Structure 1
């Protein structure tokens, strides 16, 4: 007996199933079988057959019409074909017909007892004729024991269906535990202003099935853990009616790869779980279906490392007695029901209070109560939290909860921003517009908003110092005609309660900052855009929003900060160049609204990379705060809508914790060319590094270097003492790839030294045999004096004094030693990479290398070469010379093919622009893969430009 046969016999045993005689009913039943759900129990069924109309009135027994202005009573509704004294043939097609003549039509089934907790699947058949403006759909509504509706779910909508189509709802799990009954509504309604005056709708077989309810829970309140052994998953199933199943537990990582699996038997409870029947229903009640039994199982997943995981549980059929049944199960994966739960296992990381990253939270206590929410925020690397705080004077319990929440966040080092967005329901009658109000409209009339906001300020002004008008997407103050006057009035009123108010509102990235006659009354602008700015766009736009302040502005800003336990990050304040103008004494901070990419359109890897790169860009370019506007969202959140962790939560937390409150130091030039950014906080220095091409990077930045990926997993770096030149020089080998990783434990003084070591000389003239100085600027970033030497390693065609440069510098001192370099005639032009080897003595001895580039040849004349083997076998060599000097120049060009005679051509009196000279060399195939050398000697001038090219087809 296979799974399909088992379900047919089970349903037949429950009440005699002859729906196969009715084509529409058979289709519905087959759809249920295709779902491979052998534990399904029939809750209600109607095929509009003769047994569904026992009094022969052309109306299904117990059904009712919807009445009302929109549902005219003259519309004809009834079972077709109608039985008129004689029985209709058993195999004839029967259906409920609705004839349209304007308006809507609707019918409702009798009340059906659910019988037990479970998930419910509704399927019914429909076909239409001549419908243009109306659509048809089914609705499944759950009721409590007293007949009160609790929740409804709609099917797909259909307009043009000349053949039978299936409308389906679910499987859905009622949210309310009070749901004991259900009714189905079949409806035809206009889609817009126009209605169908003609048209027919046929409703075929209808089935409602109860599926086993599978509830999956993880230990703890938040599904967020700091121990690999803490998570435990419990699975409870109710409503089982067939053979004993087994539960398959699977552990998946963030790439959806299964890393552990285990089968567990379901421990059954023989106690039945019948729901009590209601006596309050006035409608006839359908008999309650079989209740089934319940069972449970537990599993402690073997978490291999820190990161994001998903535990998936599927119910498998344990007893497949025949080979045919086994083959059928394998073909359908034998899976009947499955659920999953997410887990975030967080590596303990050091953090400081007052970082720049934050969340904009939904109001109320959904999806998490405030105590659980406060615990989650404390583990999420946050320094800020926006929260809607508007309540009425009568809502004192809510006021107390908000005050407690703000104080709790402060203890965790999180600054709460009170959002004054939509007035609470009891106060909405005061405002003329009953829809959603933009902030500029809410705060339009002081006589309305002032008494409404006073209870909030009375209760929270000592707890909350930062306030935002409107939510993150509210940009209603853009182009507001009297902005400064209006915001100043709001700020003045809010400060009547004795505390300084730090006020701000939403703004658009693409608009100029609002003008102010002096110090603006707003202290931050929350920037957003639709569509979202990319990391590169943030890097371009953000510096324009971080206005340089006059000397002393940072001190004034710090003096105005709220006196809370949150530590202040001075590096988040506007930068203060020594020669900056004095635009104002107080400048608005730039707050960034950062929405993750939608889950439905992008892979987890793409969403993760985009999120981290935008977080980096915001920190690198001076954003004072960075907020995720909807952290609890299935589509664009960090957490799921039910409060469980989403796949972006761990990368967010790792990045926010390691970079919050840091100062951006700059980037290192690495031998492999990997992108990197270095940040420092309280002596702790961290590098973020990635490369589009997977590989390795070698450098020395200290002896305590560790590497962490975005998921908190540690990657142990390799370490070597001898470099490629055979010198005894320590280096760390770091694995790099497209996903950013963090390198922690960097020596701050050593890292700052390497970042700040720069060439004052950036170009060398392409003049050979003459000594030219190469000047290096050094800055002592160590907390003490240093002494040491520097040795320059350059291409072989460069002659450099073999003696290293010696220097001695006190703390904070700068020096500019230089080398004398002369070039040999074969020195290649263009950008050349060089290496500087340092030996330093500070609190200990250091040996390390720094990589830099020098341009050989001035930018005013450049040479490029390209090669191509033609069909006739000749090698085509194109030399492109670009003249940017502003005056004519001439060159004699010498091309040296290996093993051949040299080729010579002249380029005379070249004006400004790009010019090309072509060489043709016979037997080009024999030169493939070999290197050609070109020497361009300026006629009547000192320039000599050398370049090489590898012959390609």
Structure 2
């Protein structure tokens, strides 16, 4: 029995191991470098023919990664120390231990019959290949036991010619405090770590998840790179004593770099300057023959495109065996092709470039630019500004499109590049930044940085940029000097806890900078650490005195959340408070919060008010909603006594104005346009427009701006002055022509969802329009009787003003004196009474009265103002509905609502079209009640599309209500 079984098993093994031997031979031909492979990942999203000759580095923790069978990946090393104890288990393990055991049992069985197989097949090796080695899928497993772990691969070569995509698979089991992540690390020639990029952390219990870090460009000094696996604890210091983490399928894939740059590095172009886009390809792939440029407007519409051929001599750099360029740094270009863009009007644009050629999938990238022009208005500073958390070090990251967006991805950590003080100030001035918060916590021995900050502040002052020195946190290597208990305490209230520590460290820089800047903020914009601190008034006062030294008196600001009421003036010693919260308040919420804030401080001057105005999330809201929200909140600020309003981080990926290259993002121009047009104006009210579009009027002594928008497309016809211009949020200016409408001059204004700014409007004319009102919002339905209408308006100028007023209404209305002459002293108001008689056919409802004014100015100004008046008894509301019932009957439901304090009774007669008998109902409506009556007509379809007339005569009264009812299905 056993022999038979063995014979049958031997036959199976022969077949199996002949296959294994073939696989073994194939594997020997393929090679077994544990950290490399030539094939591309199939799901990378980029065709392998782009990088078929590029080396991909891969660690899958199979047998090829553990040649000495010690369950540890060859060439890897683990961190050892207090936080990374040796007893934390780290080893290569099988994904399926049961399957691994079965394979090992089979290996044992094969070993017993292998000598017989060798006699039959002389070419077989002395020892059989391991089935477990070929079939068992393994990974690196970390078993927690109250410690953390960090493991690092061997270093491999990198090249500045390529961008890299890093992928890893991670699983976690039973984590409560710890988290796992993978880092992609670069080193320079001396072995010093110069940059790292981390995946998103994985917590809790998570199935195998693929993590991606896309589009990583090596730092200029990088020569080597490696992978680092990390298990880290919680911020509060807690660590898991049980749980496990798995890492597998680590891979570094190189791709050719396609960069798109412009002749203005920050992408800001004054109107009229030619923009040149240059596509740069590093690691030029075989077959590339042309670059396809495309230019898009802010709505994504293609404006222009250009196909540029790659010249044969464009690829000029040479590479060594490691793939590094051997040309001088100034010639590290495989290829570059440029395109001079057409002349562009002001606005936001995107440029896309793609590499094309024979048998070549597209490699694409894009960048942005903004064309700006000076906007009308005076040059006095406004109230809007930015916080620059990194000072003059601007993010200058890669500009590449993500390769694959179907997995959890982490963008590359952008590096920061210094910008010269002159360029920084020019850039901020171009963008309409009138206030800047600038980090100033300089080490006491860093004279170079102190000199640089002092130069920047001088240039800010020369360009009338209001400056706030921000003492947020010291340099990394200076933090231990402040005697903090933990890294979590790097906040203003703790850093300024002991004057004996911080004062000597800050005195050198403050002695220099306080001569240039008076306003100083303690902590970053979201640092609320002073909240709840005892004796806060005395603490801030002592800090202010300590910072002042021998300089001029300082104005100190602290940050305070909207969720907390401001302290009374008697408990404050600071001169400004910066209010903010998360999530961002809407415009209405901000209006209410500022109203409450100022009411609470109405009894005294109190600290000046600053606010943070960060755009709402890019990932949660569409473009138009974000633009409208930001502009309305900026407009709300101009309604209240707010000294300054800041964007806390213009480079924020989700809530900023700039992208990761410090180039324009889509909200930059709406912010700039709004800041420059209304930054030094006050919100004074709104106009009542015929189209009912919401609007806001901003004004100063000799200038006014009207901002208007609407959820639905609208058109408004009105006259605003002789030289009116319309400016959209993208900064594009269009002169509004004056046209003739109903024998008067008007402007025709197209209104949409995004705010439109009307500038050059006549401030006095706008104020006059706003002052016009009608005292009576309702005219009683007393047909044939004289009733008064009182029209009030004001002279907004300092000089006397005279003119005429003519009132126009429906045809059934007649006015005893339709035209009235008037004369007003400067700043005075008048009330002009007009008598109106409603004819017998006057109907109840809402009507528009036209008030035609002619102002006796030089030249004369003519304008029409429209106001609405309701005709009907005070307190009585009429409603009607019609419906065709089964059987063809038409039902008319009449509803009367009595809002008055008196009972009302009416004799109601409803007249259909000619040829049909009217119907009559008596209706009595008690105070506060609603009464309904139904009327029925046969063959209702014949009445559809027409109107019925309801005549309701008041019982024991003089009112007659004529009410039209349209007949609908």
Contact 1:546 1:589 in 2 (8 A): no
Give the deviation of 1:156 after TM superposition. 6.8
1:538 to 590, 594, 598: 590
Decide which of 236, 255, 265 is 2:280's aligned counterpart.
236
Counterparts of 1:394-413 in structure 2, within 5 Å, are: 394-413=445-464
Q: Which residue of 2 aligns with 1:693?
A: 712
Distance 1:188 1:34, change over 3 A: farther
Q: How does 1:50-89 map to 2 (within 5 A)?
A: 63-66=75-78, 68=80, 69-70=84-85, 72=87, 76-77=91-92, 86=127, 88=129
CA distance in 2, matches of 1:303, 1:17: 59
2:296, 2:303 within 8 Å by CA — same for their partners in 1? Answer: yes
Question: Do 2:268 and 2:372's aligned partners in 1 also have CA atoms closer than 8 Å?
Answer: yes
The verdict on how the C-alpha distance between 1:442 and 1:951 changes in structure 2, with shifts beyond 3 A counting, is farther
Matches within 5 A, 1:565-576: none
Alignment gaps of 5+ in structure 2 = 1-26, 95-99, 112-125, 395-417
Distance 1:778 1:463, change over 3 A: same
2:678 aligned with 1:644, yes or no? no
Residue 648 of structure 1 deviates from its aligned partner by 0.6
Which among 805, 821, 827 is matched to residue 812 of structure 1?
A: 827
Query: Which deviates the most, 646-655 or 838-847?
Result: 838-847
Deviations 1:164-220 (A, max 9, x none): 98665434212x211111223567889994466889x6956x654322122322113
- Write out aligned runs for 1:899-910 (5 A): 899=914, 900-908=916-924, 910=926
CA distance in 2, matches of 1:73, 1:825: 97
Q: 1:289 to 1:88 in 2, by over 3 A?
A: farther
1:333-732 matches, within 5 Å, as 334-335=361-362, 337-350=363-376, 351-367=378-394, 369=419, 370-423=421-474, 425=476, 426=478, 429-434=481-486, 435-443=488-496, 447=500, 454-478=507-531, 482-491=535-544, 497=550, 499-517=552-570, 521-547=573-599, 583-584=603-604, 586-681=605-700, 683-723=702-742, 728-732=743-747
Aligned to 1:408, the other structure's residue is in SS state: helix
CA distance in 2, matches of 1:948, 1:825: 14
Q: Is the 8 A contact 2:808 2:818 kept in 1?
A: no
Mapping 1:193-272, distance limit 5 Å: 193-194=239-240, 203=248, 208-267=252-311, 268-269=313-314, 271-272=316-317
C-alpha distance in structure 2 between counterparts of 1:359 and 1:162, whole Å? 40
Is 1:305 the equivalent of 2:356? no
Q: 1:831 to 1:469 in 2, by over 3 A?
A: farther
Distance 1:615 1:302 in 2: 33
Matching residue within 28, 31, 38 for 2:43:
31
The verdict on how the C-alpha distance between 1:690 and 1:428 changes in structure 2, with shifts beyond 3 A counting, is: same
> Aligned partners of 2:292, 2:750: CA distance in 1, in Å?
36
Q: Is the 8 A contact 2:317 2:326 kept in 1?
A: no
CA shift, 1:382, in A, is 2.6
What do you get for the CA RMSD once the two structures are aligned?
A: 4.1
> What TM-score comes out, normalization by structure 1 length?
0.82
Aligned residue for 1:925, secondary structure, equals helix
> By how many angstroms is 1:639 displaced?
1.2
Q: Given that residues 43 and 288 in structure 1 are in contact (C-alpha distance below 8 angstroms), is that contact kept between their aligned partners in structure 2?
A: no
SS of equivalent to 2:941 = helix
864 and 526 in structure 1: CA distance in 2 versus 1, 3 angstrom threshold: farther
Q: 1:55 to 1:547 in 2, by over 3 A?
A: closer
What SS is found at the alignment partner of 1:708? strand
Partner residue, 1:869: 884
Contact 1:721–1:730 (Cα < 8 Å) also in 2: yes
- Residues 1:168 and 1:844: Cα distance change in structure 2 (over 3 Å): closer
**In structure 2, what is the Cα distance between the partners aligned to 1:738 and 1:481?**
48
Contact 1:306–1:345 (CA under 8 A) maintained in structure 2: yes
Is 1:852 equivalent to 2:872 in the alignment? no
Residue in 2 that maps onto 1:567: none
Superposition TM-score, scaled by structure 2 size? 0.80
1:398 partner SS: helix
Q: Is the 8 A contact 1:865 1:948 kept in 2?
A: no
Q: Give, in whole Å, the separation in 1 of the partners of 2:505 and 2:162.
A: 45
Q: Which range moves more in the overlay, 443-452 or 875-884?
A: 443-452
1:114-157 deviation line (CA, Å, top 9, x unaligned): 25521123456x69899989988654322211222222334577
Alpha-carbon distance between aligned partners in 2 of 1:592 and 1:270, rounded to the nearest angstrom: 52
Deviations 1:804-833 (A, max 9, x none): 111123333332222111223443334422
SS of equivalent residue, structure 1 residue 533: coil
Secondary structure at the counterpart of residue 818 of structure 1: strand
| Among 914, 935, 939, the residue aligned to 2:930 | 914
Q: Equivalents in 2 of 1:828, 1:230: separation in Å? A: 63
Deviates more, 1:101-110 or 1:672-681: 101-110
